[in-house]
Structure 1
Amino acid sequence: MTSIETKGLPVLLTIRSEQHFEDMEPDSIELMTEGTLTSTGEGELVLSYQESELTGLEGTTTTFEVRGPQVILSRTGSVNSQMVFEEGKQHTSLYETPFGELAIDVQTSRLRHSLTERGGLMDLRYSISVDHSVTGRNAFRIRVKRKHEARENGQS
């Protein structure tokens, strides 16, 4: 049995999330957290972090897999879901809620990123439809910076 071991590099993430619902003020949140950035060696990058109480998703791991023109957002833990983003395309995803599973359509209007193993930026804009009715427009802007080990700052 062969396994390729990849170790994620520690990174600092600045995540800005916006949600726009009809007839309501936009809801936005910005947070900084630690995560890992892993290169699969096949040109794919995996960005992962633990959600917090601030996002309402405590106990959930969020992962962004960057695969060429697609980004796959997966959440596992207290919330389980997977959404596929591809600019100009619509993908149907399953979203788990405390009340059951829901099929949602994700229409990506913008997907830009400059992510490399050294960090970068991801800008994602999309709308979500349930039963062919748009329920909201959303945006993620994630800045990724390599985290420097405390040991590099010198010890006496």
Structure 2
Amino acid sequence: MRKEVLVTIRGTQTNDLGERETIELVTKANYYQKNSSFYIVYNESEISGLAGTTTSLKAEPSRVTLNRMGTAEVKQVFEEGIHHETSYVTPYGSMWIRVLPWKVEVDLTEVGGSINLEYELELCRQRIGYNELSITVQEV
């Protein structure tokens, strides 16, 4: 099974002052299943600020791995209650980021579904906010 799907990505970040910012992206993506994992692969756009970058998501029952390659490069792993630290490489330089997810929900089937993540994000050892990421996959 490999097909083109419509993916809606909605990210909300809340800073320490309670200020919220939400960004939504709707794009076409490749979607397939390999063993017990689902994969979502799409090209970033100007809207996300990551033009020239390909994003792939590997969704397992209790873990989601986000991998970006191109003008920006990062590999983030989301597992409930487990810190994951990595280097985030951008055209402007590299920085360390760390995620602490407390909600990782994967509800995907061959026809689509959703991924919901809630996590704290640290940049260069400084907490920069609470994040919610909702990814919906629909057949075209």
Same fold per TM (> 0.5)?
A: yes
Deviation at 1:137, TM superposition (A): 1.6
Q: 1 CA distance for matches of 2:25 and 2:96? A: 28
Structure 1 segment 37-116 matched on structure 2, within 5 A:
37-40=31-34, 42-116=35-109
TM-score, normalisation: structure 2: 0.91
The 8 Å contact of residues 84 and 93 in structure 1, kept in 2 or not, is answered as: no
**Structure 2: tracts of 5 or more residues without a match:** none
- Greater percentage in strand: 2
RMSD: 1.6
Deviation at 1:21, TM superposition (A): 2.1
Deviation at 1:132, TM superposition (A): 3.7
User: Which residue does 2:28 correspond to in 1?
Assistant: 34
Larger radius of gyration: 1
Count of aligned residue pairs for this structure pair: 140
User: Which residue does 2:126 correspond to in 1?
Assistant: 133
- Identity among equivalent positions (%) equals 34
Q: 1 CA distance for matches of 2:138 and 2:92? A: 37
- Greater percentage in helix: 1
Deviation at 1:35, TM superposition (A): 0.4
User: Which residue does 1:151 correspond to in 2?
Assistant: none
